[in-house]
Structure 1
Amino acid sequence: MNSILFYDGDCGFCQKSVQFVLKHEKKPIFKFAPLQGEVAAKLLPANITQNLDSVVVYQDGKMLTESNAILFITKNLNFPFLFFFIFKIIPSPIRDYFYRIISKNRYKFTNSGKMCKISDENVKKRFLN
């Protein structure tokens, strides 16, 4: 079952996070799309695509945002990163509080907003507009 991971396409930190997921996922279950793209405009509510402060995982008509999206992603990563799923025991409002701190400062973590070049054709097919 494929999930779409929506990310801020103008954010270098977010793009590096996508590259991290590509490198460490157990199976290639994710497709990737920028929150500023056409797919996001069709599938997500306007308040999500205009806000851009949350990674979004979309699967079977359901959306996960903020820390719940991150936990879903970590659950699908290789060892040792899948162990971050243990943070599920922390109540969502507390996890989301820390997520928002990182989200609001994400542009400070990287210098570039330019998309990383992807040469593998199989990986390119997983990126949606």
Structure 2
Amino acid sequence: MRAWPDDDVILYDGVCVFCSRWIRFIAARDPDKRFRFTAIQSAYGTRLAQAFGIDPADPDTNAVIRGGVAYFKSDAALTVLSNLPGWRWTRVLLAVPKPLRNTVYNLVAKNRYRIFGKYDACFVPDADMRARVIE
């Protein structure tokens, strides 16, 4: 885990259908609009990815900056979920050993384009969500 100056920022693969749905899922369940989003394909997202050793051309993880700390893979997903109303129960999943959680995460991440599809370009959020996107 490394520090980053912005907080509550989620880095995601903007051409991944599954990843884009994940972002919409979060936005719909975040009434305080705490989380902001950046696609790895954006200038800001590329800088963020490179700062944390993620290859922007072949991302294998999403990331979230929370409390000034970067979380990756299953830690990122559970950190986001556990900070949403009604989803705090997901904190118990942090008790599952990280290697096991990340094995499942890696399996989905490796096959996400094949299973869920891929956009030709980053998905365009609606006007309400657009205000929460960092480019």
**Superposition TM-score, scaled by structure 2 size:** 0.80
What's 2:133 paired with?
127
Which consecutive unaligned segments of at least 5 residues does structure 1 have? none
Q: Which runs of 4+ in 1 moved over 4 A?
A: none
CA contact (8 A) 1:35 1:49 kept: no
Counterpart CA distance in 1 for 2:117 and 2:55 is 23
Per-residue deviation, residues 91-126 of structure 1 (Å, max 9, x unmatched): 111111111011111123434526154032xx3111
Amino acid at match of 1:78: P
1:8 aligns with 2:24: no
2-structure distance, mates of 1:65, 1:21: 16
- Paired residue for 2:112? 106
More deviation in 41-50 or 93-102?
41-50
Q: 1:116 to 1:85 in 2, by over 3 A?
A: farther
Alignment identity in percent? 25
Match of 2:44 among 13, 34, 39: 39
Letter in 2 for 1:54: T
Is the Cα–Cα contact under 8 Å of residues 5 and 57 in structure 1 kept in the other structure? yes
Match of 1:115 in 2: 123
CA distance in 1, matches of 2:14, 2:72: 16
Structure 1 pair 126/49, CA: closer, same or farther in 2 (3 Å)?
farther
Question: CA 1:98–1:33 in structure 2 vs 1: closer, same or farther (change >3 Å)?
Answer: same
Q: Secondary structure at the match of 2:60?
A: coil
Do 2:7 and 2:65's aligned partners in 1 also have CA atoms closer than 8 Å?
no
TM-superposition CA deviations, 1:1-48 (whole Å, max 9, x none) = 841100001101100110000011253111100112211233333630
* Letter matched to residue 83 of structure 1: W
Q: 1:23, 1:45 → 2: CA distance?
A: 28
